[in-house]
Amino acid sequence: MNLTISPEAMQWFKKELVVDQGSGIRFFGKIYGKTQVHDGFSVGMSVDKPERPIVERTIDGLLFFIDEADEWFFKGYDLRVDYDQTLDEPKYDFSEDKK
């Protein structure tokens, strides 16, 4: 499982969110919506403290992570977080985990 944040998405997160010391941006599966690999679920994100992270990426001092409780949603996939200029929000792309 890999987590990638595009430079454009990174700029959006820095502009839109306040992340306190010791916290980061958590990605998780939430009920309702759809992704390219899940029906009835979409990607959620929140500013949170990592409890049991299974994936962590720190970029320019900003932590991004997925916790163990959300492994069911991301298992077998890599997640790329990009930026949708039209909607002015992050967009999420899944690809098969190459491991």
From the CB of residue 48, how many other CB atoms can be counted at a distance below 10 Å?
15
pLDDT value at 65 more than 60: yes
Compute CA distances 9 → 15, 31, 85, whole Å: 10, 23, 10
User: Mind listing the pLDDT tens digit for each residue in 2-15?
Assistant: 899 999 999 999 99
Q: Give the Cα separation of 33 and 7 in Å (integer).
A: 26
For 3-96, the fitting CATH number among 2.60.300.12, 2.60.40.3080, 3.40.30.10, 3.60.21.10 is: 2.60.300.12
3-state secondary structure of 84: strand
The full DSSP string for 40-61 is: EEEEEEEEE--SSEEEEEEETT
Q: Give the Cα separation of 90 and 13 in Å (integer).
A: 8
User: With contact defined as beta carbons under 8 Å apart, do 43 and 30 qualify?
Assistant: yes
User: Mind listing the pLDDT tens digit for each residue in 67-85?
Assistant: 999 998 888 889 999 999 9
* Of 33 and 63, more confident: 63
